[in-house]
């Protein structure tokens, strides 16, 4: 697969993941752009991997976790006006609540948010998340446990061995 083929086919998915990760389409665009420029320069190696997209996704996560050159907004664009708007008794109440949940997601630390996105957006296992984030599975469970507690989420099933130890917090 050439870089052209990869970019043509997989870039939208990577952008979606980055948007879920950052909570902001503009930041996601910048994040992916930086990563993709590097990927393009190193495609001869990356293109030889079995799963180049997984590698690129990991690069996106690393960039997100280490990116300090911009001021990150705590609340994704447009969220504040949604929250401030008067609630109407209508069937779209769920939509309003979802905006509130997104706003709270944006307030999580980057590592907790990353763990949540990898688990609930990408559907990764703890081991897979640990591999992407460069930490242990127990640390991943700790991130997820704390994040879910902060969001007042009731688990479908108990989280196994949710270690309270935190890395990088």
Give the binding site for another protein (CB under 8 A): 3-5, 7-13, 15-20, 23, 25-26, 28-29, 32-33, 36-37, 40, 76, 78, 81, 85-86, 88, 90-92, 94-95, 97-98, 101-102, 105, 116-117, 120-123, 148, 151-156
How far is residue 12's CA from residue 123's CA, in Å, rounded to a whole number? 18
Residue 143: closest CA among 51, 36, 100, 134: 134
How far is residue 36's CA from residue 42's CA, in Å, rounded to a whole number? 10
Residue whose CB is less far from another protein, 40 or 165? 40
135: its two tokens: 């930490």
How far is residue 149's CA from residue 108's CA, in Å, rounded to a whole number? 11
Residue whose CB is less far from another protein, 71 or 154? 154
Q: How far is the CB of 4 from another protein (least distance, A)?
A: 5
Phi first, then psi, for residue 88 (nearest 5°) are: -110, 145
Long-range contacts, 46-52 (Cβ 8 Å, 24+): 47/1, 47/2, 47/3, 47/6, 52/1, 52/6
64: its two tokens: 């997100």
Residue whose CB is less far from another protein, 130 or 148? 148
């Amino acid at each position: 697969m050439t870089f052209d083929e990869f970019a043509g086919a997989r870039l939208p998915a990577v952008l979606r993941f980055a948007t879920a990760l950052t909570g902001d389409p503009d930041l996601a665009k910048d994040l992916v752009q930086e990563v993709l420029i590097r990927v393009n320069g190193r495609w001869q190696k990356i293109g030889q991997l079995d799963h180049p997209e997984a590698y690129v996704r990991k690069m996106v996560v690393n960039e997100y976790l280490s990116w300090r050159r911009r001021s990150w907004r705590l609340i994704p664009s447009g969220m504040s006006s949604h929250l401030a708007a008067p609630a109407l008794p209508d069937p779209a109440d769920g939509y309003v609540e979802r905006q509130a949940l997104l706003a709270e997601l944006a307030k999580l630390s980057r590592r907790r948010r990353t763990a949540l996105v990898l688990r609930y957006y990408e559907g990764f296992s703890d081991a897979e998340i640990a591999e992407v984030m460069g930490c242990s599975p127990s640390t991943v469970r700790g991130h997820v446990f704390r994040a879910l507690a902060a969001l007042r989420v009731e688990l479908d099933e108990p989280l196994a061995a949710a270690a309270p130890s935190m890395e990088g917090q």
